[in-house]
Amino acid sequence: MPGFEVFGDREKQEISEVLETGVLFRYEFGEQRQGIYKVRTFEENFARYVGAGYAQAVTSGTAALKVALKVLGVGPGDEVVTQGFTFVGTWEAILDIGAIPVFTEVDTTLNMDPADLEKKLTDRTKAIIPVHMLGSGARIDEIMAIADRCAIPVIEDVSQAAGGKWRGSYLGTFGRCGAFSFGAVKTITTGEGGMVITDDEKTWRTMAEYHDHGHDHVPNPGGRAGEGRSFIGFNYRMMELQGAIGIAQLSRLDDILLAQRKNKELLRQSVSRLPGVTFRTLVDEAGDSATFLAFFLPNRERAREVNRLLQDNGAGAISFAENKWHYYPNWEHLANGATTCSSGWPFRDRQGRQKVVYDPENLSRSAAIMNRLLAYQVPVKLSRERLAQIDAAIEKVAATLG
Ligand SMILES: *Cc1c(COP(=O)(O)O)cnc(C)c1O
């Protein structure tokens, strides 16, 4: 999912316009900036691209999730339900506002299992964060139906699936908010950065204020308005250089998706020669952003054996069951309730008693799926040599395992 592969002249041109004025900051400096508002333009372009009413740029994907949680009013004592297969940033944002993450199982979509979501809701649940992992959509219709019935807001984590769709609408536009990341290995990148989209004007205004210390920008776009503050904010402002890169990267997104879809199909044809292989369930194949090819072997032992052989032949796949950053049983700092807070907050109460325990064995149905899973990241640029190497490795594995 790498926008970094296509960084080039368009990005340099956009950056140079910012360097010409010397205005690195998104707000104020009206005269000196010569009408150039890169972050604002990136927001407008992004909202238009995905078909959302509003977009708020921030400093990272994790910040995007945190800003969304904040403006939805989530805080200490609340629970937020997400899934046990995601990047740590999803639940870091939840813990950082003092709320408690609750994890659901994933199914063969590798995303939130709606039946398990239903079981994990309590009267303390204040938000649901389904994650569109590895480029492909969650069962967002079923998740939205459950959330709407219980009147719980949904924040979609679209960090790994920019440009992905479900039945013709962009991922991120189904929930109250959609949170995107533009970090190093995302589909489009601004170095560091993130975006929150929403259709609700009030939600957007609150985000704009919160992410800039409580400043109001609405009466004076590009600048700041009166100094009356509605609430305590923070600083998650994106800078103009990032906005400039974002404009260029977004203009490439359709081409990136096209290339990924083509390359994913080539990899899929190759991988389909593995004996006993099956592929991840896609809820909307046409809407797949095609950043990963995920496939299953019949059992854990087979998956390990296959990957060992692939590695020996220069074509090792990613085993997310062993990945330290994306899978619940491997988050030892979460299981240990390890926090920088000397009081142990938010895992412990004031008396030091453990309030919440994350048992690594909790998500057994996810484990049965994750242990059989292997995946290739789909590059934008897949060289003939690399494809031939993967083809050859898979032929060898198929021959060895018969
Ligand atoms: C990358 C990622 C994030 C966090 O994004 P950063 O920009 O690195 O903070 C959150 N959730 C998921 C699923 C991600 O892949």
All domains of the chain, ordered by start, with CATH?
3-253 (3.40.640.10), 258-327+363-401 (3.90.1150.10)
CA of 387 to the centre of ligand 1 (A): 28
Residue 89 CA to ligand 1 centre (angstroms): 5
Catalytic residue among 38, 66, 120, 186: 186
pLDDT in tens, 269-316: 999 999 999 999 999 999 999 999 999 999 999 999 999 999 999 999
CA distances for 89 relative to 161, 259, 361, angstroms: 15, 28, 21
Q: Which segments within 207-331 are labelled E, that is strand?
A: 278-279, 292-296
376 in Cβ contact with 267 (< 8 Å): yes
Which residue spans within 214-324 are E strands per DSSP? 278-279, 292-296
Cβ of residue 89 lying under 6 Å from some atom of ligand 1: yes
What backbone torsions phi and psi does residue 216 show, to the nearest 5 degrees? -95, 130
CA of 301 to the centre of ligand 1 (A): 30
What's at 176, amino acid-wise? R
Residues forming a β-bridge with 81? 102, 128
Q: What is the DSSP string of 144-193?
A: HHHHHHHT--BEEE-TT-TT-EETTEETTSSSSEEEEE--TTSSS--SS-
For residue 263, the one-letter residue type is N
d(CA 216, CA 330): 42
Quote the pTM value: 0.97
Beta carbon of 156 within 6 Å of any ligand 1 atom: no
Based on the number of CB atoms within 10 Å of its own CB, is 85 exposed (0-12), middle (13-18) or buried (19 or more)?
buried
Residue 305 corresponds to which tokens in the numbers above?
């054996």
Residue 334: DSSP 8-state: H
Is 187 close to ligand 1, i.e. is its CB under 6 Å away? Answer: no
Q: Let me know: does 390 contact 315? Beta carbons within 8 Å.
A: yes
The candidate with the shortest Cα–Cα distance to 102, out of 311, 294, 332, 363, is 363
Q: Which of the listed residues 62, 80, 177, 195 should we mutate to test ligand 1's pocket, taking the one with most ligand atoms within 8 A of CB?
A: 62
State the Cα–Cα distance between residues 163 and 152, nearest whole angstrom: 25
Residue 186 bears catalytic tag: yes
Ligand 1 site, residue 366, Cβ cutoff 6 A: no
Nearest to 245 by CA among 54, 57, 33: 57
- The three-class DSSP label of residue 279 is strand
Q: At what angle do helices 38-50 and 240-271 cross, to 10 degrees?
A: 40
What pLDDT shows up at residue 141?
A: 98
Q: Say what the pLDDT of residue 64 is.
A: 98
pLDDT at residue 1, as a whole number: 54
Tell me, using a 6 A CB cutoff, whether residue 358 lines ligand 1: no
What would the two tokens of residue 381 be? 């640029």
Cis, peptide link before residue 346, omega less than 30° from 0: yes
The torsion of the CA quartet 385, 185, 171, 297, rounded to 10 degrees, works out to: 50
pLDDT lower than 50: segments of the chain: none
Using DSSP, state whether 198 is helix, strand or coil. strand
Cα torsion 106, 110, 113, 116 to 10°: value is 0
Give the CA-trace dihedral at 47, 186, 63, 32, to 10 degrees.
-60
